[in-house]
Structure 1
């Protein structure tokens, strides 16, 4: 019973984290900073906040070398997930870029099958097919109306690959040693910021710093809420769920981004994109059923 409640709470927490994560796209599309620069500031602000929390609550950093290494690797790939996602936002807008980022579902499912022997089964395969169809219906119209779509799609798909690898290393870090979520997030954020600093200075030298107090405030919110709260929730919930279910639940982020585009940014949503969102949510529901059945079967066999 406790396993079910923990998994159910983790699923809800992951969805909340994804929605908050998607809301950050509004900030990215508003500020004048470069894609790599805004990713750096997000991570360095978050690392300062997490360091303060770690010290205040006297949380210990991991002692296991593998755990520290995997946490740092997760931060590296998260940094470039963010940078490429920002590039995609600038090219094709928040909604579609977040949809492309969500293609990490395929990477997560593949990793789950290869490394963790997670069997998909008929229901799992159906949910993946429906998720693919839903994302395709939402994303396809953009190719016909935006000259920047090709680069936006490349960056968006690349960000999804980096996100999937970051998710994997979060899980492997916690497998090597159970780490306090605040300690994990500090290592993840500071390692990501360090890896981005030289690149962002070179690429975004002309728009590295916020131009005014408004942008400074928005960047701080981006680092404090979207990284500390949203990514913290995601990092906490991922180890409690299978990688396949994680990938499906993360699709709640692009659905939220689509709603943001439609109702907050006044983007026209075509007759194909709304059904695509509905199909995607149904795929998430099927993935939840599959995961619950696997848990019940595991208990019976045990």
Structure 2
């Protein structure tokens, strides 16, 4: 459990590092995923698991990487438009998307937690961004939409990753590493296609990108992936809520994000709804 807790705290700084990096969104994604993937590969090498990287694994990893690109494409843009805290909160609505998919498509029996999760999360979303929608700038509204698109692509990524792992029979860490490397390459291609520069402007940017790739991604997700199977599902969902919660706190502390009572109430409602939605229901017969 300690590894999961530390991992969740570490990745809560991801959006902060993206903001501090001061490079185009897809360039930040390239450095995070590709360099972070190399860092994860180093862990796997030390564990003697490089033999898991077969052509079969790379082929299935590509499926997940396509959705992961969409996740980072929209999330990094949302960070620039609505701030690290709100962007991360909106991205974590992926739990609600997964809960809906599990009931409507996978035919899992809805639980009392699920029935509470949806209205609570939606009420929280309304308090966070719905009440003041008319007062938001056009850019902020676009950022909210990008944040919700992040949640959609994040959910599709998780579903495809679960499917790919079941088909490929791969080690989860090896699959996560392969997906990161492929996603980084694809984001790098997007950056080249848009004529963006990969130049790192200053030392602060270099430190932010290094922290993002090697600490937040490589170390954070290594700890989470290795620990998540040893902790009961309800506790996993609760601990992982530290990521959006702390990201919101860091946004207030580091970037002077203005907040009001309604927004805080919305965040609390959304977090409770997200947690309830993360609890696995019983599969219908």
Match of 2:213 in 1: 223
Match of 1:187 in 2: 178
Q: Deviations over 1:95-133 (max 9, x none)?
A: 221122122223211332355432222331112221222
Match of 2:90 in 1: 100
| CA contact 1:109–1:243 (8 Å) conserved in 2 | no
Distance across 1 between alignment mates of 2:203 and 2:140: 32
Aligned counterpart in structure 2 of residue 146 of structure 1, from 137, 154, 167 = 137
Q: 1:217 to 1:33 in 2, by over 3 A?
A: same
Task: Measure how far apart 1:168 and its partner are.
Answer: 1.1
Match of 1:77 in 2: 67
Match of 1:5 in 2: none
| CA contact 1:108–1:243 (8 Å) conserved in 2 | no
Tell me if 1:173 matches 2:164: yes
SS of the residue aligned with 1:48?
helix
Distance across 1 between alignment mates of 2:98 and 2:164: 16
Give the TM-score taking structure 1 as reference length.
0.79
Task: Measure how far apart 1:284 and its partner are.
Answer: 5.0
SS of the residue aligned with 2:138?
coil
Aligned counterpart in structure 1 of residue 42 of structure 2, from 29, 48, 52 = 52
Number of residue-to-residue matches in the alignment: 283
Aligned counterpart in structure 2 of residue 208 of structure 1, from 160, 174, 198 = 198
Distance across 2 between alignment mates of 1:82 and 1:152: 13
SS of the residue aligned with 2:201?
coil
Q: 1:284 to 1:110 in 2, by over 3 A?
A: closer
Task: Measure how far apart 1:243 and its partner are.
Answer: 9.8
| CA contact 1:245–1:287 (8 Å) conserved in 2 | no
| CA contact 1:181–1:235 (8 Å) conserved in 2 | yes
Q: Deviations over 1:132-184 (max 9, x none)?
A: 22233223356323331222122212211111111112212322244334312
Gaps of 5+ in 1: 1-8
Tell me if 1:274 matches 2:264: yes
Match of 2:150 in 1: 159
SS of the residue aligned with 2:255?
coil
Give the TM-score taking structure 2 as reference length.
0.83
Task: Measure how far apart 1:251 and its partner are.
Answer: 5.0
Distance across 1 between alignment mates of 2:131 and 2:216: 28
Distance across 1 between alignment mates of 2:144 and 2:100: 21
Task: Measure how far apart 1:89 and its partner are.
Answer: 0.9
Tell me if 1:61 matches 2:52: yes
RMSD of Structure 2 on Structure 1 (CA): 3.4
| CA contact 1:142–1:149 (8 Å) conserved in 2 | no
Aligned counterpart in structure 1 of residue 117 of structure 2, from 114, 127, 143 = 127
